[in-house]
Amino acid sequence: MRKSQDNKEIKVFDNSFRLPKFQTRTVIAEENGKKIVYKYASNSEALHFLELIVEREQKNVVYFKEHFNVFCGTLNNDRIEYEYVPHQSLLDVIAEYLRQNDYAAANKIFQRYVEKLYLLQQVRMVPEEFLALVERNKCCCKPKVTCLRRGVFDLTPRNILIGDNGWIVLDNEWSFDFPVPVVFVLFRALREMAIELQNDIRRNTSKAVPVTNRLAFGLHNLYMPVEWLNYLDNERVSLSLLLRWELGFKRYVIGKKPFGVGRVKRFPKERTSFPNWSQRTNNRLISIMKTVFKNTPRLRRLLRHFERKLLDYDN
């Protein structure tokens, strides 16, 4: 957080970890008592990316039609200008329900998200262009799957605002003209929620809401409601393959050695409860490991290397 020349508070979100051609900087500023959002190109190489973002937003307006609204900006030289929208994200709404121990409400709105996803125009095919982007090496596994006609990779709860007049899609950067498997978009949504809402998910675990840890991230088990994971079984695509696709996409954005994406648990367990002491222990462990990884970059790199090896990737 810093001050502008007019002593107005400014919040800056930077993504310098990306490849230079994709690096942008988002600023939330207050001007004349009104908040406004600016997205800048972080370097001259990324100026073309700004143009692509605006173009992709307009294409998504047509594609989403009555199912979603699109948060569009106006390109002005080296930045895109957006109106500030103060609505909660779908991820925040789900988190709020879970913190109120209202899994039924959280599940209902998540089910609505899945329904809206499948209402978008689809095609069943082998997504060759998608596979070319996310597969590092030629792969014999080219499944025929149900795809969204536009490659809206980031149509996840974090990037959807719940407004008075409908659901609004933010962050249309990663929208492509080729189809993307619906199961991959849904997987990204579930993985996102498992990481961000892990404590809330565990707190809502019961005999009526069993969870399982089919995935792990770093040293942490990612428990998810069995009911939510069942959505991934609509297509015969393994969790390992979905993780490889996620790693491939991150490599496209970040470069040769991206952040870890997690791994599939060989022997997952289904649980119906977590003792209070287990929650406290897990929170302490997360805090300790964050400190250890922050102060020991080599250990962090070693763990990411190990996870990539488990996904059969060469480095």
Q: Does residue 111 share a domain with residue 42?
A: no
Q: Does residue 94 share a domain with residue 74?
A: no
Mapping DSSP onto H, E and C, the string for 36-47 reads EEEEEECCHHHH
Domain boundary among 30, 64, 83: 83
Write the pLDDT tens digit of every residue in 5-32: 554 657 788 999 999 999 999 999 988 8
Q: Does residue 135 share a domain with residue 279?
A: yes
Q: How far apart are CA 45 and CA 28, in angstroms?
A: 23
Indicate whether 9 belongs to any domain. yes
Q: Does residue 19 share a domain with residue 149?
A: no
Q: Which of 26-30, 67-71, 131-135, 234-238 has the lowest mean pLDDT?
A: 234-238
Task: Categorize the per-residue pLDDT at 315 as very low, low, confident or very high, splitting at 50, 70 and 90.
Answer: very low
pLDDT of 248 above 90: yes
Q: Does residue 149 share a domain with residue 107?
A: yes
Q: Does residue 187 share a domain with residue 292?
A: yes
Mean pLDDT over each residue of the chain, to the nearest integer = 87
Q: Does residue 168 share a domain with residue 243?
A: yes
Structural domain of 72: 2-83
Indicate whether 315 belongs to any domain. no
Note whether 46 and 21 are within 8 A (CB). yes
Concatenating the DSSP letter of every residue in 243-278 gives HHHHHHHHHHHH-SS-----EE-SS--EES---HHH
Q: Does residue 183 share a domain with residue 66?
A: no
Bridge partners of 79, per DSSP, are 40, 76
From residue 125, give the alpha-carbon distance in Å to each of 28, 52, 120, 122: 41, 26, 16, 10
Domain count, the chain: 2
Q: How far apart are CA 63 and CA 152, in angstroms?
A: 10
What pLDDT score was predicted for residue 77?
A: 86
Domain boundary among 32, 58, 83: 83
Q: Does residue 276 share a domain with residue 207?
A: yes
Write the pLDDT tens digit of every residue in 48-87: 999 999 999 999 999 999 899 999 999 998 899 999 988 9
Bridge partners of 169, per DSSP, are 70, 160
What pLDDT score was predicted for residue 313?
A: 39
Bridge partners of 271, per DSSP, are 211
Q: Does residue 276 share a domain with residue 134?
A: yes
pTM: predicted TM-score of the whole model, two decimal places? 0.86
Q: Does residue 287 share a domain with residue 142?
A: yes
Q: In this structure, which amino acid lies at residue 225? A: P
